[in-house]
A and B are shown apart, each in its own frame.
Chain A
Amino acid sequence: MSDFTSSFWPIFITVISLAGVFGCALLLWVTSKIKASSPNGDNTNGHVWDENLREMNNPLPRWWVWMFIITIVFSLFYFLAYPALGGYTGKLGWSQVGQYEQEMAAANAKVAPIYAKFAAMPIEELATNKEAQAIGERLFMNNCALCHGSDAHGSKGFPNLTDNDWIHGGSAEKINETITHGRIGMMPPMAAAVGNEEDVKNVANYVLSLSSSKHDTARAALGKEKFAACAACHGADGTGNQAVGALNLTDNIWLHGAGEEAIIKRINLGVTNQMPAQSAKFSPEQIHVLTAYVWSLSNNASQQ
């Protein structure tokens, strides 16, 4: 149960804690009285400094002493109730993780009615609901914006969520699936299947030609034949396949960089891109609201 790396530390902590508390009690008892020579009985405690400076005895009020005693007794009960003594877990069974879970449960219970209301609404309706959109925006800002950017326009390797170009599908169900379970996009190194270095360069130019990007027409013509190796996933026309997460190569949107050099690199090395699953982080209702927000980014033209 205990998280200590060595059996010495629990003992060390127990000894320090108990010695501290009993040390306080001892100090309190030892300092309750002093022997002092007070020849005059004038309420001085016999201490004399600088020839004639004498110290008055102004006793500490007894209630204050009682507060010390109460503190000592309290700490002993505390040791008993909480995991204060080394590996001992305490009578109350308290732990940080337990408290965290308890507070999370309480917080979730508090927001449950709000989410329950949204859970019953379809995505299209949520996307126009101001309250739901505000919650969705906050969820996105705090959790998704780190990779996809505050404006959801993405970055190299992180898809733009506002452009209607969906890798795994842009329907509400698909977005929900992506958020819940995450995605792994994998393209194997294709150099061997395509051919030699020249072939790879030709295929790259053919790929560029699909979106009418700047390319070498002659090379593109040569590469068309070799593209067959890619067509299995990206389709014969290069429009991609959402079922396997193969990118659309015809729309001039380049997730992993534009231009001949970047494409050659992808053909040679392949790429594995992962979006982590969020199901552990959010409740299904939260994912529902977040889905509506993400969906609205590319479907709500009327948004401000």
Chain B
Amino acid sequence: MSNTKDPKASTSALNAPSETTVINLYAAAEKIYPRSTFGFFTKWRWVMIWLTQIVFYGIPWIEWGSRQALLFDLEAKRFYIFNLVLYPQDLIYLTAILIISALSLFLFTAIAGRLWCGYTCPQTVYTEIFLWIEAKIEGDRAARMKLDGMGMSGKKLVKKGTKHFVWIAFALWTGFTFVGYFTPIRELSTSVMNMSLGPWETFWIGFYGFATYGNAGFMREQVCKYMCPYARFQSAMFDDDTLIVTYDEARGEPRGSRSRKADLTNQNLGSCIDCSMCVQVCPTGIDIRKGLQYECIGCGACADVCDTVMDKMGYARGLVKYSTQTAMTNGWSHAQMLKRILRPRVMIYATVLVLLVVTLLTSLWLRSPFKVDVIRDRGVMARLAEGGMLENVYRLQIMNATESTQHYQLNATGLDQLVIQSDVLDINHTVAVNPAESRGVPVRLQIPDGSMKSGSHTVTFEIKATESDDVVTEKSIFLVPR
């Protein structure tokens, strides 16, 4: 982008410091009117749009037992994911999911460039949906350009008004769905009907709705070009074998318009008829014939439209296509090119990714449905109790991560004649903890006074859920004073 180095340095770098002009480093962004496309890649994009959006809009409505299947209760700090109840202590799973997402991005980008950007990124998905609405109301590229060029009229006002109304309605629904992940969506919809939304619910529906409206309706490619960090660092994952949207320059050039019946053998012309369709459909407004550019989100719209044109001309498809740099220079066949997908870089990404996914799933599978923190009382170091016993006090914070009342049996080992006592345990040394509740259980450990030498000794608590037979062990310290 722009650079503001000392101009003197640059003039000296130039051999001919002849004439100087003033360059403006800020400029108004030009509005882009992407033309609608039809074809293979467009179809896949719509498949992905439907898939991701059915999941996004649908999941909050699924019920699981007596609650919402997916609910992030921030106030109570409980995260319900189908049959899982996660505590803030389970943050490691979020970390794992983020690492897996990042590695997936690396993998897909190494194979076929900005697949994420072109097909599944919310920015692309919502822009595509908003463009579809826009095209339905205002018409395609040419009609929209004409409409924008016109002065204000009743007809224009109706068209623009309808478009913004539909956009805002859609955006608010999106905001509503988003909030529905954090506050039960059925209650939320009742609140909306009764106009009794809380201030924060209103704010977040409005904010998320506004972000959707602004980003998909107005900012569009500007987000990818100027704001998105992923867009820029993905180029670091490209190599010569990465599939990217490519213009076959050798075949296309020299470009030029011609009659459909013209015989190419007699004229000095390549396959490109210079119809500029590839530029018109581009959502970021670039000309793919100039080669790979940082703005390209890899959506394949130009490949789709060029194939249509080639069909009309009776030429072979694939003047603009997914190809790799090595395939283009070596003139490889499709099969030869695809074979290079199985290169070390991809294999390493894939192996690490599979390992991580397996680890995450195993860890979720083997996850104990409760957690225990042992907190040794700091105010009470050690004290003498009845019967000449020396006593240490602990608080066991037991977190029940199931949705039924659980009974936990406590036991402690590690010292001779160690006795566990508590006012809240029953005769079997068990304590009940309510569904998804965290309870602090005060526990005393006793040994006969004088049976151990002074200092700190390790003790091990063993907590067993009587319902599931799961066991958690936690270490702590038993202090014997001088």
The answer on a CB contact under 8 Å between A39 and B19 is yes
Cβ–Cβ contact B380 & A37, under 8 A: no
Which of A49, A60, A150 sits near B395, CB closer than 8 Å?
A: A150
As a 0/1 sequence over residues 309 to 339 of chain B, the CB contacts with chain A under 8 angstroms (1 = contact) are 0000000000000000000000000000000
B226/A151 in contact, CB under 8 A: no
CB pair B440–A62 under 8 Å, yes or no, is no
Going nearest first, the 3 A-B pairs with the smallest beta carbon separation are A59-B27, A150-B442, A151-B442
B25 touches A59 (CB 8 A): yes
Q: What's the nearest-Cβ distance from chain B to residue A26, in Å?
A: 13
Q: Roughly how many angstroms separate A142 CA and B29 CA in the complex, as a whole number?
A: 58
Contact, CB under 8 Å: A39 / B18: yes
Residues on A with C-beta less than 8 A from B375 are 150
Residue of chain A at shortest CB distance from B384: A258
**Other-chain contact of A149, B17, B23, B442 (Cβ < 8 Å):** B442
Q: In the complex, what residues of B have CB within 8 A of residue A57's CB?
A: 2, 23, 25
Answer yes or no: A100 CB below 8 A from chain B CBs.
no
List the B side residues contacting A59 at CB < 8 Å. Answer: 2, 24-27
Say whether A93 faces chain B, with CB atoms less than 8 Å apart. Answer: no
Instruction: Provide the bound-state CA to CA distance between A150 and B18, in Å.
Output: 84
The secondary-structure label for the interface of chain A is mixed
Contact B393 A153 (CB under 8 A): yes
19 residue pairs from A and B, CB less than 8 Å apart: A33-B22, A35-B22, A37-B11, A45-B10, A46-B7, A46-B23, A47-B5, A47-B13, A59-B2, A60-B1, A60-B2, A60-B25, A60-B226, A62-B27, A148-B379, A149-B442, A150-B442, A153-B380, A154-B383
**Which one of B166-174, B419-427, B459-467 is at the interface?**
B419-427
Task: Tell me which residues across on chain B come within 8 A of A153, comparing CB atoms.
Answer: 380, 383, 385, 391, 393, 444
B19 CB contacts on chain A under 8 angstroms = 37, 39
Q: A304 in the interface, Cβ–Cβ < 8 Å?
A: yes
Determine if B14 is an interface residue (Cβ-Cβ < 8 Å). Answer: yes
Cβ-defined contact, B1 with A36, below 8 A: no
Kindly state whether residue B381 has any CB partner on chain A within 8 Å: yes
Residues of B within 8 A of A151 (CB): 393, 422-423, 442-444
CB <8 Å contact, B25 and A33: yes
Task: Please give, as numbers and ranges, the residues of chain B lying within 8 Å of A5 by CB-CB distance.
Answer: none
Decide yes or no whether A303 CB sits under 8 A from chain B: yes
Q: How far is the CA of A152 from the CA of B425 in the complex (A)?
A: 15
- A61, closest chain B residue (CB): B29
| Bound Cα distance from A33 to B443, whole angstroms | 72
Given contacts A34-B23, A35-B23, 8 further A-B contacts (CB under 8 A): A37-B19, A45-B23, A64-B226, A138-B440, A141-B440, A149-B379, A149-B393, A150-B440
Q: What CA separation (Å) do A58 and B395 show in the bound complex? A: 62
Pick from B28, B379, B424: contact of A155, CB under 8 Å:
B379
B23 and A33: CB pair below 8 A? Answer: yes
Is A174 at the interface (CB under 8 A from chain B)? no
> B377 near A: Cβ within 8 Å?
yes
Distance in angstroms between the alpha carbons of A156 and B383 in the assembled complex:
7
- The bracket for how many chain A residues form the interface is 35 or more
Report how many A-B pairs have Cβ atoms within 8 Å.
146
Provide the residues of chain A in CB contact with B383, threshold 8 Å.
153-156
Choice from A35, A61, A297, A303 contacting B20 with Cβ under 8 Å = A35
Would you call A46 and B28 a contact (CB within 8 A)? Answer: no
Partner of A48, one of B13, B21, B380, B385: B13
Contact with A along B425-460 (1 / 0, CB 8 A): 110000100000000101110000000000000000
Beta-carbon nearest neighbor of B5 in chain A: A47
B3 is an interface residue with CB less than 8 A from chain A: yes
Contact with A along B15-46 (1 / 0, CB 8 A): 01111111111111100000000000000000
CB-defined contacts of B17 to chain A, threshold 8 Å: 37
Q: For residue A66, which residue of chain B has the nearest CB? A: B26
- Residue with the highest number of chain B CB atoms closer than 10 Å, among A61, A146, A156, A158: A61
B394 in contact (CB, < 8 A)? yes
Residue of A whose beta carbon sits closest to that of B295: A58
A37-71 interface bits toward B, Cβ cutoff 8 Å, 1 = contact, 0 = none: 11101000111110000010111111111000000
Q: Is the CB of B21 within 8 A of A38?
A: yes
Shortest Cβ distance from residue B77 to the other chain A in the assembled complex, whole angstroms: 15
By a CB distance below 8 angstroms, the chain B residues around A38 are 21, 23
B482: Cβ under 8 A from any A Cβ: no
| Docked-complex contact B423 and A162, CB < 8 angstroms | yes
List of A residues within 8 angstroms of B22 by Cβ: 33-36
Chain A residues, Cβ within 8 Å of B10: 36-37, 45-48
Given the complex of chains A and B, what is the CA–CA distance between A31 and B25 in angstroms? Answer: 7
Q: What chain B residues lie within 8 Å of A46 (beta carbons)?
A: 7, 10-11, 14, 20, 23
Q: Which residues of A contact B377 (CB under 8 A)?
A: 145, 149-150
- The reply to whether B23 and A39 contact each other, CB–CB distance below 8 Å, is no
Quick one: given A37-B21, A150-B440, are A62 and B26 in contact (CB under 8 Å)? yes
A228 at interface, CB cutoff 8 A: no
**Residue among A31, A155, A258 facing the most chain B CB atoms (10 A cut-off):** A155
Q: Restricting to B212-248, which residues have a CB under 8 Å from any CB of A?
A: 222, 226
